[in-house]
């Protein structure tokens, strides 16, 4: 017990530092994006959404990548541990949140840029499909069942859902699309289309939102552990009550 308290204290400290760093980074990103960086030559002030929209999508990709790796680790016999399943679930929840925000900010961008809130553009369509796939994955995790069986079933579903992630990333390159090609680094031309203070602000946005992802996953992972222990205690109490009822009959 003595060893657990210092360890828990260190985790709490790391969690607080991550949250503080993420908050400072996001506030700085918003301030730089609104008041310091210049408007774009063609998009004007609409370009300021670039400091939020791509980092949101980036975090969604990270979240689903972590979900994929954790699910793979759970399915691998040598590393099978329910903690991997717990991490996969936590990361997917954060990923769904950031995918939803990506779709919302993309619609806000699309209204003045394309004249519509939504169009069945390949990138938008595959992103919406990604959102639905991982909502289904989270719903599957809620189906009552044996914990190990549920974890195995969820891990397989996660591997299937991840197939859409590279499709989303390459959608603007594979199909003719209204959406512009990658701004930071286009994999076909290997050129960066943003420079100066705009590039540094965008980089800060990526870092800040990545820190926010780590902070949120850490909180959700620990909360998942509390929920699992509470469920196990409820099951144990129910079994004990059943045994006591049987002994009195």
Q: Over its length of 249 residues, how does the chain's per-residue pLDDT go in tens digits?
A: 445 456 668 888 999 999 999 999 999 999 999 999 998 777 788 888 999 999 999 999 999 999 999 999 999 999 899 999 999 999 999 999 999 999 999 999 888 888 888 888 888 999 999 999 999 999 999 888 788 999 999 999 999 999 999 999 888 888 877 666 666 555 555 555 677 888 899 999 999 999 999 999 999 998 876 666 655 555 555 555 566 665 555
Cβ atoms 141, 148 nearer than 8 A: no
Contact partners, residue 150, CB within 8 Å, separation at least 6: 141, 143
Torsional sign, CA 164, 49, 21, 2 = negative
Total-model pTM = 0.85
Helix/strand/coil (H/E/C) assignment for every residue in 148-164: HHHHHHHHHHHHHHCCH
């Amino acid at each position: 017990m003595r060893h657990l308290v210092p360890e828990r204290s260190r985790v709490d400290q790391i969690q607080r530092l991550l949250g503080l760093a993420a908050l400072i980074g996001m506030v700085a990103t918003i301030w730089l994006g609104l008041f310091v960086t210049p408007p774009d030559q063609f998009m004007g002030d609409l370009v300021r959404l670039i400091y939020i929209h791509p980092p949101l999508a980036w975090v969604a990709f990270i979240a689903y990548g972590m979900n994929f790796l954790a699910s793979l680790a759970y399915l691998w016999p040598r590393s099978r541990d329910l903690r991997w399943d717990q991490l996969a679930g936590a990361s997917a929840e954060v990923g769904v949140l950031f995918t939803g925000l990506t779709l919302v900010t993309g619609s806000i961008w699309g209204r003045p840029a394309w004249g519509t809130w939504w169009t069945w553009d390949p990138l938008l369509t595959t992103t919406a499909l990604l959102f639905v796939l991982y909502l289904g994955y989270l719903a599957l995790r809620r189906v009552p069942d044996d914990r190990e069986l549920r974890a195995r079933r969820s891990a397989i579903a996660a591997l299937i859902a991840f197939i859409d992630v590279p499709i989303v990333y390459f959608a603007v390159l594979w199909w003719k699309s209204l959406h512009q090609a990658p701004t930071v680094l286009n994999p076909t031309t290997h050129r960066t289309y943003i420079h100066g203070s705009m590039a540094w602000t965008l980089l800060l946005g990526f870092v800040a939102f990545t820190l926010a992802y780590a902070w949120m996953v850490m909180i959700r992972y620990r909360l998942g552990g509390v929920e699992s222990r509470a469920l196990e205690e409820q099951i144990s109490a129910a079994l004990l009550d059943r045994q006591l009822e049987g002994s009195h009959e």
